[in-house]
Structure 1
Amino acid sequence: MRHHLKIAVCLLAAGVMSTGGVGAQTATSPKPIKVMTAAPSLTTAVPLTVIARHFDKAHGLVIENPQAGTNSALIIDAVLSGNADFAVAGTLTVLQAIRAGGDLTIIGGVANNQLVTVVGNDVPKKIGVTSDAPIGERIKALKGLTIGTNPAGATYTQMLRAYLKEYGLDPDNDVKLVGIADASALITGLEQGRFDAIATASGVAEQALSLNAGSVWFSGARGDIPGSEKSIVALAVTRPDVIEKDPATVEAFRASLADGLKAINEDHVETGRVLKEQFFQKFDPSLWEIVWNGATAAFPTSLTFSRDAFTFWISNDPKGAESYQDIDYEKITYGPSQG
């Protein structure tokens, strides 16, 4: 997790030069594209499924998968700089990059709300609330706790702040949020007692359970938070010039992602087995089964990034929805992904 994750979709270039461009695509001449994403977690499960179940090859793509960290800003920078053609990154970071002038187009949403909060073993007794209490009681019970989460302004941090507010807590005064860029430091921080709780992506937060450091308090991935399926947390993006110059490859990439979503939703057990074997080898097998089988609300059924999801995120941006007054949803979202 301490190394940068870089998914390079390396496609054979045979036949591309003879066509005078990158637009031609055949089964024997897959195209070279590069896709950047973050470290393996449930948030990145769709692109990982594409690799693990070879949906890339079905659409003329071959994906190489060096793995790394969790910084969405670096991932987006790779696309903006031309060092990558596509990326899968945190929704809010994508929108903030667009607001700042980044020339990006959203081509699909690939993960629903997967915020998971794990509390230390002594916390339920200390706060007098159990993990089977109504969701509102569980969130209100976080008052006064120190919570390790992602850096300030990150997708999961802002999502946590949104739910704290929704259930009556002031995230700046009622809790102490500590932003940590290194996911493994969140786990060890909970284990060592530096945090009362941690809140981050599913597939990361639950690793604390394998150390007997805590228990799941609530999980968006399993549908604990009503309406959280509208809170898309990860987006596939590209630059407008990629869409203009090579729409066929954009559609091929989207088709491979769509196949990944379908496999996750309709062949969940087998897809989980393959993902565990290829990308989550160090994940405790019994814990992986709990996490994966419990992810009943973790993934959308299509690549849609709806206007409702757009509104949710700009409303929960630290600078407020008014900071997006010059951003047109329809202009930044690829037509087939609108909804």
Structure 2
Amino acid sequence: MLVISRRRFLAAAAAAGTVPALARAARAQTSVKIGTAVLGDYSMAGPVIVALERGFFKSEGLAAEFVPFRGGPDLLKAVMAGECLVGITGSTDILVFREAGSPIKMIATHTEGNHFTLNVAADVQKIADLKGKAIGVTRAGATTWVFARMLAKKEGWDPDKDVQVVGLGGLDAQLAAMARKEIAAYVWGDGGAVTELQGKSKVLLRLDAVTPKWISQIQYASEDAIKKQADTIQKSQRALFRAIKIMRDQPGEIAELVGKKLGWSVEAVLGAHKISGPLLPIDGRINVDALAAMQDALIEHGLIKKKLALDEHYTRDFTPVKL
């Protein structure tokens, strides 16, 4: 006759109970989509990639999906439609889209300062060498266009006469124009580290030298999601900021997995980290003075017409993010 002790019986019962418990936990995971305006930007996409690969979303009870888009307007449509819970984009989008009437709000700073870079041809040694030459940007009216004009003004140049600011589109178009010597420089994000390693251009400076008060990138959500899904937003942010902490403190540990998703070498990822790593935030707090400076710059350059109250653009309900 088989005799089972009370202790063994309880242990067996507990073990048997873990299977349905785990199944319930898996079923209980909330599905979320995190969108980025582009893929090829280390500081923008990196935190989402790391949070997914390291299981940080899963540990928050979230079944997350990463959805990179082809620009801020496409991401906005997805956020407004409820297809993406959190959008990560360039910071000027919040000012432009709010003025246009989109009911969205910034929920955290994703990258501080200004991580955009001025990338130049091999024969350009200093900013002064660009006078009388062309600078490539994504399009007229884009953030890159504003930065090129601000750079010219900082040098005491007339941005309409002393330099030519040319809207060319994506990175391939910038590099092709530089190879043909049609432009001497272009404005880009931390992906400038990749083309520098390839010998196609070199990073002359990071553009926070031009914009001392700025915010590079933000996290935002629709007002409807903020009202109805605040808990899920907070969980998503905890996962993202756990990833940001690792990126900030131990970039060598995550360079390979980020590079694999971006299609970059480890060296390129580490090069991008040198550019934007120092700007990765600790807890996502929102610098309202920087928002005000950005709003003034966009009005000066005609990207927005109305000066809306700054507190219409953000909520402090989610910051500082506590891990």
TM above 0.5: yes
Query: What corresponds to 2:137 in structure 1?
Result: 149
Identical positions, percent = 20
TM-score normalised over the length of structure 1: 0.77
Larger radius of gyration: 2
* Structure 1: runs of 5 or more not aligned: 1-24, 125-129, 131-137
Query: What corresponds to 2:56 in structure 1?
Result: 55
**Structure 1 stretches (4+) deviating beyond 3 angstroms?**
25-28, 65-68, 138-141, 284-289, 293-296, 318-324, 336-339
Cα distance in 1 for residues equivalent to 2:131 and 2:305: 29
Correspondent of 1:236 among 219, 230, 233: 219
Query: What corresponds to 1:3 in structure 2?
Result: none
Correspondent of 1:217 among 161, 185, 204: 204
Correspondence list, 1:135-174, <5 A: 138-174=126-162
Residue 248, structure 1, aligned to residue 260, structure 2? no
Greater shift, 301-310 or 283-292, is seen at 283-292
Distance 1:295 1:27, change over 3 A: same
Distance 1:26 1:33, change over 3 A: same
Distance 1:32 1:288, change over 3 A: closer
**CA deviation map 1:78-136 (0-9, x unaligned):** 212333322111111221010111100111111131111121123x2xxxxx3xxxxxx
Computed over aligned residues only, the root mean square deviation of the Cα atoms, in angstroms, reads: 2.7
Aligned partner letter, 2:90: G
Cα distance in 2 for residues equivalent to 1:207 and 1:171: 28
**CA deviation map 1:230-275 (0-9, x unaligned):** 4212111111111111211111122122212211212222122331
Distance 1:27 1:153, change over 3 A: farther
Correspondence list, 1:29-68, <5 A: 29-37=28-36, 38-44=38-44, 45-65=46-66, 67-68=68-69
Cα distance in 1 for residues equivalent to 2:39 and 2:303: 29
Query: What corresponds to 1:280 in structure 2?
Result: 262
Residue 323, structure 1, aligned to residue 305, structure 2? yes
Cα distance in 2 for residues equivalent to 1:294 and 1:310: 22
Distance 1:322 1:86, change over 3 A: closer
State how many pairs are aligned.
Answer: 293
Aligned partner letter, 1:306: N
Correspondent of 1:303 among 284, 287, 292: 284
Aligned partner letter, 2:267: S
TM-score normalised over the length of structure 2: 0.80
Distance 1:273 1:211, change over 3 A: closer
Aligned partner letter, 1:180: L
